[in-house]
Chains A and B, each alone.
Chain A
């Protein structure tokens, strides 16, 4: 029991580490928040008028709601993925070496950093999520609670992936390029902007979107908001989508734990 409480304590402290470092991201997140505001207030509104959503059984205002939950998912992914730059900075400044020397199990270090990173990213996007809820006129407390939990689980999963990639490639330049490419591909090859029923007409895109965690998270949020409106156009059954996101959470977190415990050592940053 003592060991478990030591591990829990370490996880709490690692989460605290990420939350206290949140201030260094303010400018980046402010820029993303402005982008988000333009997307939902201008672009989303115009797009909803342009898109003939009736072919998929939606009216313009429903498509707008479809769009803003997608945009929220994409911003959550972008902000979580951008943790790669923080981790790169921490490696360059020797913080990772410092943390590797601390009396914390490596698995706990990986798990704590993934959770801390996920919580920090979700917290950052919370004002944007509230904006989406207001625009969508969503007020069901249960739906809101499940949405936030889904967002958090997704963000922790992506943090695990980002930790694994950044610490493995040990290069700021490679991290920049890889994260930029990942962001561009994953956001577009998903149901963030286009419903799965439309993607079905283009098989490679559809199967790409089916594998893409962003599709599942965006569609979970939509289903939670309005099951009736979206049940026919989401990428999969709600339980299947939830299981997929949970599976990614476990998979990517274990990947980070494995890499940090077995593979990572200090030095060698390029």
Chain B
């Protein structure tokens, strides 16, 4: 395994009596894209803001490349950059001035700053908006400016809090590419999102957080495999399902049959599907159509958190 980039140790954050994050421990490794997945108010942003030293832990600690946010805040801030969930600017700010100032603060010389800001603004399609006031910009454009800060900064640990909220679908895919590029250039990426599709598309490992508690950590595949009988094998058979066929299918998982159509809920669906076909062939039943469906991250989330669809989250 790679070097530890961020180590969260028994991290608790309270606001008054409200526990926003409840004793989370996890490790994020160098040059991975790590996702914090959870609904609004689950503690993702609080965790990210504490990594960025904006909040202080109530107890526990977070270490970035070995530096504690409690005792080595200055060193941590030199390693971390954060694109906030809500773009941070005043209405009277102009994107170019804002990004130029940011570039200088993160260490570029004046000449370098002008060059890198132009390059990133061009890249994100922001150049034409450079002299508009912030209040004149759309939500998506504002969000891109927030992302641009991190693409300019290229920090060792780049944090994106819901990076594509309010962004159109074309830009969304482009921003994901830019985040991957940043990772390939050596940054460790932490993305907070409540968008399961986004999490699945860009994150190599995920932590599911719910009501301030860590529910699971793993790759997307590991998380999906953690759902018992989460895969669904759909079959169309040449014959109606009778008791004999049912006995065979019941060996593989929970079966739901109607006419010649069968749904079997199993683990590791792709491996099991082959065995199902073999077993049916041995009793003379042919499979006309077969499809294996993995559980979605939505299914994983609901399974791991126990949340209900109508629940206020």
Tell me which of B32-40, B87-95, B121-129, B281-289 binds A.
Answer: B87-95
Q: What residues on B are CB-neighbors of A23 within 8 Å?
A: 92
B46's nearest neighbour on chain A, judged by CB, is: A267
B74 neighbours in A (Cβ, 8 Å): 103, 105-106
B114: min CB distance to chain A, Å: 15
Q: Check B105–A93 contact: CB distance below 8 A.
A: no
Q: Say yes or no: A94 contacts B86, CB within 8 Å.
A: yes
Q: Which of A14-22, A62-70, A146-154, A250-258 contacts B (4 or more CB under 8 A)?
A: A14-22
CB < 8 Å neighbour of B49 from A21, A102, A105, A267: A267
Known contacts A98-B84, A104-B77: A24-B52 contact under CB 8 Å: no
The CA-CA distance from A93 to B89 in the complex, in Å, is 7
Task: Determine if A97 and B54 form an interchain contact, defined as CB atoms under 8 angstroms apart.
Answer: yes
Cβ B80 vs Cβ A24 within 8 A: no
Whether A94 pairs with B88 at a CB distance below 8 angstroms is yes
Rounded to whole angstroms, the CA-CA distance of A16 and B105 in the bound complex is 11
8 Å CB contacts to B: which residues of A90-141?
A: 90, 93-95, 97-98, 100-106
Question: How many angstroms between the C-alpha atoms of A268 and B84 in the bound complex?
Answer: 16
**Pair A20/B97 contact, Cβ less than 8 Å:** yes
Tell me which residues across on chain A come within 8 A of B78, comparing CB atoms.
103
| Residue of B77, B88, B107 touching A93 (CB-CB under 8 A) | B88
Would A24 and B92 count as touching, CB distance under 8 A?
Answer: yes
Q: Known interface pairs A94-B86, A97-B54, A101-B77. Does A13 touch B101 (Cβ–Cβ under 8 Å)?
A: yes
A267's closest neighbor in chain B, by CB? B55
Q: Report B-chain residues with C-beta under 8 Å of the C-beta of A16.
A: 101
B1-48 interface (Cβ within 8 A of A) = 15
Tell me which of B15, B54, B86, B105 contacts A104 (CB under 8 A). Answer: B105
Interface size on A, as a range, is 20 to 34
| Cβ-based interface call for B164 (8 A) | no
Asked whether B205 is an interface residue with its Cβ less than 8 Å from the other chain, the reply is no
User: For the complex, is A89 an interface residue (Cβ under 8 Å from B)?
Assistant: yes
Docked Cα-Cα span, A101 to B106, in Å, equals 11
The one of B82, B86, B92 that contacts A101, using a Cβ cutoff of 8 Å: B82
Q: How large is the interface on B (under 10, 10 to 19, 20 to 34, 35 or more residues)?
A: 20 to 34
Q: Give the docked Cα–Cα distance between A266 and B74 (Å).
A: 16
- CB contacts (< 8 Å) of B104 on chain A: these are 9, 13
Q: Given the known A-B contacts A13-B104, A101-B52, A101-B77, are A267 and B88 also in contact in the complex, defined by CB atoms under 8 Å? A: no
Contact partner of A267 (CB less than 8 A), chosen from B15, B73, B89, is: B15
Q: Is the interface of A mostly helix, strand, loop or mixed?
A: helix
B158 CB → nearest A CB, Å: 12
Q: Indicate if the CB atoms of A265 and B55 lie closer than 8 Å.
A: yes
A102 contacts B55, CB within 8 Å?
no
Alpha-carbon distance between A10 and B102 when the two chains are bound, in angstroms: 11
- Closest B residue to A266 using CB positions: B54
Could you tell me the distance in whole angstroms from the C-beta of B194 to the nearest C-beta in chain A? 19
Give the residues from 130 to 149 in chain B that come closer than 8 angstroms, CB to CB, to chain A. Answer: none
A256 to chain B: closest CB distance in Å? Answer: 17
Q: Which residues of A contact B55 (CB under 8 A)?
A: 265-267
Interface contact A101-B53, CB-CB below 8 Å = yes
Would you call B56 an interface residue if the criterion is a C-beta within 8 Å of the partner chain's C-beta atoms?
A: yes
Instruction: Report B50 CB to chain A, min CB distance, Å.
Output: 9
Q: How far is B86's CA from A13's CA once the two chains are assembled, in angstroms?
A: 23
Binary flags per residue of A229-270, CB closer than 8 Å to B gives 1, else 0? 000000000000000000000000000000000000111100
- The distance from the CB of A226 to the nearest CB of chain B, in whole angstroms, is 42
A17 contacts across to B, CB distance below 8 A: 101
Instruction: With both chains docked as a complex, state the minimum distance between the C-beta of A107 and any C-beta of chain B, in angstroms.
Output: 9
Task: Considering the complex, give the chain A residue whose CB is closest to the CB of B51.
Answer: A101
A93: chain B residues within 8 A (beta carbon): 88-90
Which residues of the other chain, A, contact B52 by a CB distance below 8 angstroms? Answer: 101
Most A Cβ at <10 Å: residue of B80, B90, B104, B106: B90
Complex partner residue of A97 from B77, B88, B97, B105, CB under 8 angstroms: B88
Max chain B Cβ within 10 angstroms of own Cβ: one of A97, A98, A106: A98
Contacts of B90 in A (CB 8 A): 21, 24, 89-90, 93, 95
A91 to chain B, nearest CB (A): 11
Q: Are B84 and A97 in contact (CB under 8 A)?
A: yes
Complex: A102 Cα to B74 Cα, angstroms: 9
Contact of A265 among B54, B80, B86, B97 (CB under 8 A): B54
User: A23 vs B92: C-alpha distance in the bound complex, in angstroms?
Assistant: 8
CA distance A268 to B97 in the complex (A): 28
Shortest distance between the CB of A10 and any CB in chain B (Å) = 7
Most-contacted residue by chain B among A13, A100, A102, A266 (CB, 10 A): A102
Separation of A102 and B101 alpha carbons in the complex (Å):
11
Q: Known: A97-B54, A98-B84, A266-B55. Contact between A103 and B107, CB under 8 A?
A: yes
Which A residues form the contact surface with B (CB < 8 A)? 9-10, 13, 16-17, 20-21, 23-24, 89-90, 93-95, 97-98, 100-106, 265-268
The 8 tightest CB contacts between A and B, nearest first, are: A98-B88, A266-B54, A94-B88, A101-B52, A103-B77, A103-B78, A100-B54, A265-B55
9 sampled A-B residue pairs with Cβ under 8 A: A9-B104, A89-B90, A93-B88, A95-B88, A95-B90, A101-B80, A266-B54, A267-B15, A267-B54
| Besides the known contacts A13-B104, A21-B90, A95-B89, 10 further A-B residue pairs in the complex with CB atoms under 8 A apart | A13-B101, A21-B92, A94-B86, A95-B90, A97-B54, A102-B105, A105-B74, A267-B15, A267-B54, A268-B15
